[in-house]
């Protein structure tokens, strides 16, 4: 077989699909929230929520493309400033990035050295220079955590007299449901003027999305069509994320290309396994020494006991491993915390056992991934 792909980039993260499928309700809600702009009114502030991979970024980009086309046709002044906040943990950092996004080339400012009010003033001046209607999109905005100063200042800049020529709307996008609750009440009031929620995709919806992408990405005879419902069902069951489904198709395509075979259901099963191995390897790599030992001991216990293990039993195993490894074992309490961290990170599944009359709780743990996959990942790290 000569090739698998017609266009592999169709399955990549930064590909922007021409058509947004299966999101009619959300597009409509978005359109309604944006409609004042079309009528020359003041833009709403909008908050967009939903789990990872459910189309928040893709739909937002699509809506703005459409809006931009329409407003440009009508010769209206309309600007979108898009900022991904992923690596920006403070309002200050985001404000600097926005300034640099808007500043003329050569007039960018360094990331430190200004007082926050100075940066905000520069930002307001630049927004006023641009004028017209401006939407500031803060994607993955939860990265700023509780430092929501900018989210307070920006939506009320005009009311406070800091903006004269520009009408600014803020669009915040987040996959962290707790983030909204952490915002100060004033910020919640203004920023969440309109809220749009994106639910997880079900298998049928994912099938529509994956069918279109597979057609554009793969050669016609490179794949068995049965892989589409298969991949859709897997992603729907696990996360409801279109990204997960697309990742699966790409991994299966790569595997088929390497081995010069057709992508069939067996290829997809192998791709699932490969993706799991890659993910586990990546996350194990980032663990501290003791967290890794705690994970290994839970894994070994799960294999030995063939059932969930109690903290006490895992700790005994851990203490032996740590000694063998030449490390001082953590105390019991710290070890409990380590197990708790591993559950929060998704490595372990924890459940509570009530200890009966004298009250008190204890926990049992099992590993969420295939034990072999974990142990392979650890040994590859040359532990």
CB-based contact 79:134 (threshold 8 Å)? yes
Task: Indicate the residue among 18 and 221 with the shorter CB distance to ligand ATP.
Answer: 18
* Residue 253 binds ligand ATP (CB under 6 A): no
User: Phi and psi for 300 in degrees, rounded to 5?
Assistant: -65, -40
State the binding string over 120-149 for ligand ATP (x if CB under 6 A, else -). --------------------x---------
- Nearer Cβ to ligand ATP (175/299): 175
Q: State yes or no: residue 52 binds ligand ATP (CB under 6 A).
A: yes
Length of the chain counted residue by residue: 383
314 contact choice in Mg ion, ligand ATP, none (CB below 5 to 8 Å, kind-dependent): none
Interaction with ligand ATP in 350-379: which residues (CB under 6 A)?
none
Tell me how many residues contact ligand ATP (CB under 6 A): 20
Cβ distance to Mg ion smaller for residue 57 or 299? 57
Q: Which of 348, 287, 338, 294 has the alpha carbon at shortest distance from 318?
A: 294
Any contact of residue 23 with ligand ATP (CB under 6 A)? yes
**Position among 57, 83, 174, 244 found at the interface with Mg ion (CB under 5 A):** 57
DSSP 5: B
Q: How far is CA 93 from CA 41, 83, 119, 252, 310, in A?
A: 30, 11, 10, 39, 44
Check if the beta carbon of residue 302 is closer than 8 Å to that of residue 366: yes
Indicate the residue among 9 and 184 with the shorter CB distance to ligand ATP: 9
Q: Which does 262 bind (CB under 5 to 8 A by kind): ligand ATP, Mg ion, none?
A: none
Cα torsion 348, 352, 355, 361: sign: positive
Task: Output 88 or 162, the one with its CB closest to Mg ion.
Answer: 88
The string over 67-104, giving b where at least 16 C-beta atoms fall within 10 Å of a residue's C-beta and e elsewhere, is beeebeeeeeebbbbbbbbeebebbbbbbbbbbbebbe
Number of continuous H segments (helices) and E segments (strands) in the chain: 15, 8
Contacting range for ligand ATP; rule: CB under 6 A; set: 21-29, 232-240, 275-283, 335-343: 21-29
340 binds, among Mg ion, ligand ATP, none (CB under 5 to 8 A by kind): none
Interacting span for ligand ATP (CB under 6 A) from 225-233, 240-248, 298-306, 345-353 = 240-248
Give the C-alpha separation, 273 to 295, whole Å.
20
Which residue's C-beta sits nearest to ligand ATP? Answer: 55
Residue 209, binding choice from Mg ion, ligand ATP, none, Cβ under 5 to 8 Å by partner class: ligand ATP
* Residue 255 interacts with ligand ATP (CB under 6 A): yes or no: no
- Both tokens of 306, joined, read 């063939």
- Angle at CA 298, nearest 5°, toward 364 and 290? 115
Binding site for ligand ATP (CB under 6 A): 15, 17, 20-23, 50, 52-58, 140, 175, 209, 242-243, 246
């Amino acid at each position: 077989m000569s090739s698998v792909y017609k266009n592999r980039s169709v399955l990549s993260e930064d590909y922007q699909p021409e058509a947004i499928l299966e999101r009619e309700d959300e597009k409509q809600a978005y359109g309604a929230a944006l409609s004042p702009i079309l009528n020359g009114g003041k833009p709403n502030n909008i908050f967009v929520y939903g789990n990872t991979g459910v189309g928040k970024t893709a739909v937002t980009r699509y809506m703005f493309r459409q809006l931009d086309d329409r407003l440009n046709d009508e010769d209206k002044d309309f600007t979108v400033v898009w900022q991904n906040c992923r690596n920006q943990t403070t309002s200050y950092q985001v404000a600097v990035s926005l300034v640099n996004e808007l500043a003329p080339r050569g007039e960018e400012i360094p990331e430190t050295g200004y007082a926050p009010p100075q940066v905000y003033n520069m930002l307001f001046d630049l927004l006023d220079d641009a004028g017209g209607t401006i939407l500031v999109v803060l994607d993955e905005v939860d990265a700023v955590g509780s430092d929501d100063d900018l989210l307070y200042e920006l939506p009320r800049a005009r009311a406070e007299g800091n903006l004269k020529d520009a009408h600014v709307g803020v669009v915040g996008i987040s996959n962290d449901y707790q983030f909204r609750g952490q915002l100060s009440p004033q910020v919640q009031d203004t920023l969440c003027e309109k809220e749009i929620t994106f639910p997880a995709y079900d298998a049928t919806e994912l099938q529509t999305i994956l069918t279109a992408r597979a057609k554009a990405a793969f050669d016609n005879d490179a794949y068995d069509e049965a892989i589409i419902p298969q991949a859709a069902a897997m992603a729907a069951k696990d996360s409801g994320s279109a990204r997960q489904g697309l990742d699966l198709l790409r991994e299966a395509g790569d595997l088929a290309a390497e081995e010069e075979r057709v992508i069939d259901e067996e290829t997809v099963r192998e791709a699932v396994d490969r993706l799991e191995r890659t993910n586990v390897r990546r996350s194990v790599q980032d663990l501290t020494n003791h967290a890794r030992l705690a994970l290994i001991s839970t894994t070994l216990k799960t294999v030995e006991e063939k059932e969930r293990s109690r903290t006490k039993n895992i700790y005994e195993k851990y203490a032996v491993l740590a000694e063998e490894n030449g490390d001082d074992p953590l105390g019991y309490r710290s070890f409990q915390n380590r197990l708790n961290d591993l559950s929060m990170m998704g490595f372990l599944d924890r459940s509570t056992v009530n200890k009966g009359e004298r009250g008190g709780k204890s926990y049992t743990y099992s590993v969420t991934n295939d034990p072999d996959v974990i142990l392979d990942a650890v040994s590859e790290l040359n532990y």
